[in-house]
Amino acid sequence: MTIKMKRLGRTDIEVFPIAFGGIPIQRISEEEAIKVVRRAIELGINLIDTARAYSDSEVKIGKALKGIDKKVFLSSKSFGRTKDEIYADVKASLKNLGVKKIDIYHMHAVNDKETLNKVMSPDGAYYGLLKAKEEGLIDFIAVSTHNVDIAQELIKTDKFDVIQVCYNFIETEAEEKVFPLAKEKDVGIIAMKPMGGGVVPNPTLSLKFVLQNDYIVPDPGMESIKEVEENVRLVHEISPLTKEELQEIERIKNEMGQAFCRRCDYCQPCPQGIAISTIIRADSFIKRFPKEYLKEKWFYEQYLKAKTCTKCGVCATRCPYNLPIPDLIEKNVRLLEEYLA
Ligand code: SF4
Ligand code: SF4
Res 201: pLDDT: 80
Kindly state whether residues 93 and 180 are assigned to the same domain.
yes
Ligand 1 neighbour 276 (Cβ under 6 A)? yes
Q: For ligand 1, atom 6, which residue shows the shortest CA distance? A: 312
CA-closest candidate to residue 179, choices 169, 168, 189: 189
Tell me if 303 sits within 8 A of 340, measured CB to CB: yes
CA of 331 to the centre of ligand 2 (A): 16
Cα(299)–Cα(275) distance, rounded to whole angstroms?
Answer: 10
Does residue 267 sit within a domain? no
DSSP state of 200: S
Ligand 1 neighbour 304 (Cβ under 6 A)? no
Residue that is last in its domain, among 241, 256, 285: 241
Torsion of CA 146, 151, 157, 158, to 10 degrees: 100
Model confidence at 179: pLDDT above 70: yes
Kindly state whether residues 150 and 97 are assigned to the same domain.
yes
Q: For ligand 1, atom 2, which residue shows the shortest CA distance? A: 309
Residue 146, C-beta contacts closer than 8 angstroms, at least 6 positions apart: 109, 111, 165, 166, 262, 263, 264, 265, 277
Does residue 266 sit within a domain? no
Kindly state whether residues 111 and 53 are assigned to the same domain.
yes
Does residue 246 sit within a domain? no
Residue 35, C-beta contacts closer than 8 angstroms, at least 6 positions apart: 225
Structural domains in the chain (count): 2
Rounded percentage of the chain residues whose pLDDT exceeds 70:
100
Kindly state whether residues 142 and 288 are assigned to the same domain.
no
Res 165: pLDDT: 96
Kindly state whether residues 236 and 296 are assigned to the same domain.
no
Does residue 259 sit within a domain? no
pLDDT, one tens digit per residue, over 76-114 is 999 999 999 999 999 999 999 999 999 999 999 999 999
Ligand 2 neighbour 261 (Cβ under 6 A)? yes
Instruction: Identify the domain containing residue 314 by its residue range.
Output: 276-340
The arithmetic mean of pLDDT across residues 129-140, rounded, is 98
Kindly state whether residues 125 and 175 are assigned to the same domain.
yes
Mean pLDDT of all residues in the chain?
A: 94
CA of 277 to the centre of ligand 2 (A): 6
Kindly state whether residues 165 and 297 are assigned to the same domain.
no
The three-point CA angle 19-24-30 to 5° equals 105
Q: Which of 265, 267, 307, 314 to mutate to test the pocket of ligand 1 (most atoms within 8 A of CB)?
A: 314
Q: What is the CATH number of the domain that holds 183?
A: 3.20.20.100
Res 154: pLDDT: 98
Kindly state whether residues 210 and 288 are assigned to the same domain.
no
Ligand 2 neighbour 339 (Cβ under 6 A)? no
Kindly state whether residues 231 and 290 are assigned to the same domain.
no
Does residue 84 sit within a domain? yes
Ligand 1 neighbour 290 (Cβ under 6 A)? no
CA of 232 to the centre of ligand 2 (A): 32
Ligand 1 neighbour 312 (Cβ under 6 A)? yes
Residue that is last in its domain, among 241, 267, 297: 241
Q: For ligand 1, atom 8, which residue shows the shortest CA distance? A: 270
Does residue 83 sit within a domain? yes
Ligand 2 neighbour 262 (Cβ under 6 A)? yes
Model confidence at 123: pLDDT above 90: yes
Query: Using 50, 70 and 90 to split pLDDT, how confident is the model at 1?
Result: low
CA of 81 to the centre of ligand 1 (A): 26
Kindly state whether residues 77 and 209 are assigned to the same domain.
yes
Does residue 311 sit within a domain? yes
Query: Using 50, 70 and 90 to split pLDDT, how confident is the model at 285?
Result: confident
Ligand 2 neighbour 328 (Cβ under 6 A)? no
Res 256: pLDDT: 81
CA atoms within 13 A on the CB side of 34: 12
Q: Which atom of ligand 2 is nearest to the CA of 263?
A: 5
Does residue 104 sit within a domain? yes
Between 320 and 31, residue with greater pLDDT? 31
Ligand 2 neighbour 277 (Cβ under 6 A)? yes
Out of 39-48, 132-141, 193-202, least confident range: 193-202
pTM attached to this predicted model: 0.87
CA of 55 to the centre of ligand 1 (A): 29
Ligand 1 neighbour 310 (Cβ under 6 A)? yes
Residue that is last in its domain, among 184, 214, 241: 241
* CA diameter of the chain: 57
DSSP state of 180: H
Model confidence at 257: pLDDT above 80: no
Kindly state whether residues 195 and 106 are assigned to the same domain.
yes
Q: Which atom of ligand 2 is nearest to the CA of 262?
A: 7
Kindly state whether residues 220 and 147 are assigned to the same domain.
yes
